Amino acid sequence: MKKTLLTYRITVMVIGILLGVLLLVLGMLLKPETVQTIIKWGIIIYGIFIVIGNIPGLISGIANIGKPTGVFDLVCALLGIALGVAMICYQGSVLVAIVGIYLIILPLVRVLLAKQKGEQFKRELIRIILGVVLLFFVPALLNVAFTVIHWLLVILGWIVIALSVIFGVVEIIRVLRAPATSAGGKIYVDVTGDGVVDTVLVDTDGDGKPDTEYRVDR
């Protein structure tokens, strides 16, 4: 039993170390072109979802074209589809500008058309702030995306390696220090970790596996 547990602890530690090394290798091999490609395809996929998500609004707007709400739904759907197409066809600073303007203008239109403009403005405030952030700050942030991702992978890799080694060594020591099974089929265990045996595991059916647990009174 001790040998099996020891093998398990060592295996878990090795897997953790390998995962940390993999993160380090990814951080070292990562190139700016790779980050740009990931961002590009992420934007394209998100644009596809935006186009698909605005189709119901387009259908609803066309069906209710004679009503103000129908016209508004149609305009919003068309703007959304246009944004999705722009995300599919363009990536980079131009797209960020388009998204920022979209997030600023559309909420403002909703505020102007709402009966309770103050309440509507409170609901749209987050979108407007997000649009301003995208419009003015994201282009600069994209330039440092590679550096940020690189260091995140490196730091995360070392953290995973360190934790795997620390916890692995601690668990291995605990397994090695655990008392072996006695001739009577009993295992004496210190469950609380205070250095005093407080639990006895007994193999009552003789299959080599403990199946009964007793607490030791102190």
Assess whether 128 and 213 both reside in one domain.
no
Whole-number pLDDT of residue 214 = 64
Assess whether 115 and 195 both reside in one domain.
no
Assess whether 143 and 188 both reside in one domain.
no
Confidence class for position 213, pLDDT limits 50, 70, 90: low
Residue 64 located in a structural domain: yes
For residues 28 and 157, the model is more confident at: 157
Whole-number pLDDT of residue 93 = 62
Domain region containing 208: 179-218
For residues 178 and 171, the model is more confident at: 171
For residues 195 and 81, the model is more confident at: 81
Burial (CB count <10 Å: 0-12, 13-18, 19+), residue 33: exposed
The sign of the CA dihedral 172, 22, 39, 138 is positive
Assess whether 31 and 130 both reside in one domain.
yes
As given in the structure block, the two tokens for residue 11 are: 């295996």
Q: What does the alpha-carbon distance between residue 72 and residue 62 come to, in Å, rounded to a whole number?
A: 10
Which of 20-24, 139-143, 190-194, 198-202 is predicted with the least confidence, judged by mean pLDDT? Answer: 139-143
Assess whether 60 and 141 both reside in one domain.
yes
Q: What does the alpha-carbon distance between residue 143 and residue 159 come to, in Å, rounded to a whole number?
A: 26
Whether 207 shows a pLDDT value over 60: the answer reads no
Residue 105 located in a structural domain: yes
Q: How many domains does the chain have?
A: 2
Average pLDDT over all residues of the chain: 77
Residues in contact with 200: Cβ distance below 8 Å, sequence separation at least 6, in sequence order: 186, 187, 188, 189, 213, 214, 215, 216
Contact between 39 and 145 (Cβ < 8 Å): yes
Whole-number pLDDT of residue 153 = 86
Residue 130 located in a structural domain: yes
Q: What is the dihedral of CA 8, 10, 13, 14, to 10 degrees?
A: -110
Q: What does the alpha-carbon distance between residue 56 and residue 9 come to, in Å, rounded to a whole number?
A: 53
As given in the structure block, the two tokens for residue 17 are: 């170390």
Whole-number pLDDT of residue 58 = 87
Assess whether 143 and 187 both reside in one domain.
no
Contact between 21 and 13 (Cβ < 8 Å): no
Whole-number pLDDT of residue 183 = 44
Highest mean pLDDT among 23-27, 171-175, 187-191, 204-208: 23-27
Of 153, 188, 203, which one is at a domain's C-terminal end? 153
Contact between 111 and 117 (Cβ < 8 Å): yes
Residue 6 located in a structural domain: no
Tell me the helix, strand and coil percentages in the chain, rounded to 5: 75, 5, 20
Confidence class for position 126, pLDDT limits 50, 70, 90: confident
For the whole model, what pTM was predicted?
A: 0.44
For residues 148 and 1, the model is more confident at: 148
Residue 14 located in a structural domain: no
Whether 159 shows a pLDDT value over 90: the answer reads yes
